[in-house]
Amino acid sequence: MKKSFSMELAGRTLTVDVGRVAAQANGAALMHYGDTTVLSTATASDKPRDGIDFFPLSVEFEEKLYAVGKIPGGFTKREGKPTENAILTSRVIDRPMRPLFPKDYRNDVTLNNLVLSVDPDCRPEVLAMLGASIATCISDIPFAGPCAMTQVGMINGEFIINPSQEQWKNGDLNLTVASTREKVIMIEAGANEIPEAKMIEAIYKAHDINQTIIDFIDKIVAEVGKPKHEYTSCAIPEEMFAKIKELVPSERMEEAVFTDEKQKREANIKAITEELEAAFADNEEWLAILGEAIYQYEKKTVRKMILKDHKRPDGREITQIRPLAAEVDLIPRVHGSAMFTRGQTQICDICTLAPLSEQQKLDGLDENELSKRYMHHYNFPAYSVGETKVSRGPGRREIGHGALAERALIPVLPSEEEFPYAIRCVSETFESNGSTSMASTCASCMSLMAAGVPIKRMVAGISCGLVTGETDDDFVLLTDIQGLEDFFGDMDFKVTGTTEGITAIQMDIKIHGLTRQIVEGAIARCREARLFIMDTCMKPVIAEPRKEVSKYAPKIIQIQIDPSKIGEVVGQRGKTINAIIDQTGVKIDITDDGAVSVCGTDADAMQKAVKLIETIVSEFEEGKVYEGKVVSIKEFGAFLEFAPGKEGMVHISKIAKERINHVEDVLTLGDVVKAVCLGKDRMGRVSFSIKDAQ
């Protein structure tokens, strides 16, 4: 049965078609917002996947270039691996929806969002977020929804609900908020140093919009929603828990868990596991789920101690940050390096500078964004957590963490006019025990300053955790969570910023939403912590950017030329500019507006290249002395090349002060001589004199 539903959302009509396409999926919604169209589907397997202790949810955001009237590049002419934007969008959809599925559900679920058409005024990411929720809600898949998501931009201090691509790119705020009926469930933000109070205002403006969308989804579910199917629960049997607690009393589990050394804690749990494996040797059913049972017991122990006694596993106070350390210049010959350590989390960041021509080229659905000047990459090798695993390149988590640190630092970077470099920071995780993305932000900030990048202000980041009880007002916020508190807690609330305000937020939770009291408390706690990190750890090591870039970094000289002269500098098929590059060994970039960047490591060679370019684009001045190379000899005189493609003639009578019969008596090919410009002759030709320049 085909049904169509519509509502007005931020001045545009949102339409949802159900039953029109993809009828064999458990749930499908064809979403329309302006001319943007996205097909969102939700499918689930009939049976749980064997041998796993997690919910196997996959979320996909598929960008098809036909949606913006493009054919993919390359030889295959079809889309390849997901773009970074597609991966980040998938993560933003996954994070609020995952907690709303039953905790004991082990059936495979895939949420697929296919972008069919893109209207620049209506971002497809918004439609995919809403479509995924609607498709799941109307399906027979167990789900405690609905949830809704809204994006907020800000231009000139005014909030914009679901901004266009252009507004999203050029505004001071990129905020995505997901909500259930009562609470905020996910926050993702990039901001241009937005004050905390303004950010909270924006979050709850989005939350209010989400309530109107949830009312709309409720109407759709009431008309076309399917009854939720029964499923096989994978919960741990109560009798098994009782037996484990009998063999391992809670006091012993507390003693095993509460230590500030991750390796010691793991050894303690391993000893308990081996003891229980021996006790349950004759019960194969219990042995198969023993690991999950111990995990749950460990989790309940940690949560109880934090919530009731405010006791953290490593003995810290709830607002206390782990020991901090920082240093710069630990890696020789790179352009900038810094290491930041917080407890057992350690990041080394390396900064590399290059000409703007080396910025990353993008091939996605946003036609306004074709390149990226600042790149932040994050690596998480297995040794950082004491494991052995072959590296297969960055996964979604690594890409997400790198993007968060990148977003945190973009607002303080200098403009291309101020600092004409492409910039790449790479964060190598040496050790991990919680919030490596926030350590990456701190390390990257110091690495940029060490490299001589004139950032506006220092940026730091920290993560705040949460443990909740039975009621909304029964909770404990934890500053600087370590891995165990992240795994067993309810929230990972990451905030980066300067002394002036917030530059990025990423919030993940495992419960069905946060109260406003928790959100405001976490944001305030993170501000206090990041200022402490900057003042006590980062500033004593490097308080401001260095005045010059490293001696190993390329130097750049910028000049401006008349855009109409660009063709003369480039030459036919690049002949002129390539000749300058061959002569000097520099790299030259020219923009359409006539901005020329000369990049190299040899200052003399760079100045020579600049002089050649200026010679090419300038008119010869009468009376001015030029230096040129003899490139051609005729009976009547010689031709001098003052720059590639820029020549002038010296008549034989103007070569020497005495009379000569042959040009070859004085000049040979390749000679470099000085000549003065005599101006134009009667035929409009510019002539030169060598004898008058001596």
516-544 confidence digits (pLDDT tens): 999 999 999 999 999 999 999 999 999 99
Amino acid at the residue 674: K
State the average pLDDT over residues 227-247: 88
State the span(s) of the chain assigned CATH 3.30.230.70: 3-152+200-224, 324-538
For residue 260, pLDDT beyond 80: no
The yes or no reply on domain 555-617 and CATH 3.30.1370.10 is: yes
> In the CATH scheme, what is the code of domain 625-693?
2.40.50.140
The pLDDT, as a whole number, for residue 197 is 96
DSSP string for 129-197: HHHHHHHHHHSSS------EEEEEEEETTEEEES--HHHHHHSSEEEEEEE-SSSEEEEEEEEEEE-HH
428-451 confidence digits (pLDDT tens): 999 999 899 999 999 999 999 999
Select 324-538's CATH number: 3.30.230.70, 3.30.420.40, 3.40.47.10, 3.40.50.620: 3.30.230.70
For the beta carbon of residue 585, count every other beta carbon within 10 angstroms. 13
State the span(s) of the chain assigned CATH 3.30.1370.10: 555-617
**What are the strands, taking DSSP E only, across 343-459?**
345-355, 360-361, 371-372, 374-379, 421-431
pLDDT band at residue 368 under the 50/70/90 scheme: low
The pLDDT, as a whole number, for residue 483 is 87
For residue 224, pLDDT beyond 90: yes
For residue 272, pLDDT beyond 80: yes
pTM attached to this predicted model: 0.88
Minimum mean pLDDT range among 385-394, 451-460, 482-491, 679-688: 679-688
DSSP string for 576-645: HHHHHHHHH--EEEE-TTSEEEEEES-HHHHHHHHHHHHHHHSPPPTT-EEEEEEEEEETTEEEEEEETT
- Which has the closest alpha carbon to 210: 247, 250, 158, 175? 175
For residue 478, pLDDT beyond 90: yes
pLDDT band at residue 17 under the 50/70/90 scheme: very high
For residue 12, pLDDT beyond 90: yes
The pLDDT, as a whole number, for residue 212 is 97
- Average pLDDT of the chain, as a whole number: 93
For residue 682, pLDDT beyond 80: no
Minimum mean pLDDT range among 73-77, 468-472, 527-531, 632-636: 73-77
The yes or no reply on domain 3-152+200-224 and CATH 3.30.230.70 is: yes
309-335 confidence digits (pLDDT tens): 888 888 899 999 999 999 999 999 999
State the span(s) of the chain assigned CATH 2.40.50.140: 625-693
The pLDDT, as a whole number, for residue 298 is 87
For residue 357, pLDDT beyond 80: yes
State the average pLDDT over residues 288-298: 86
Name the fold adopted by 238-309: Arc Repressor Mutant, subunit A (1.10.10)
Minimum mean pLDDT range among 111-120, 253-262, 373-382: 253-262
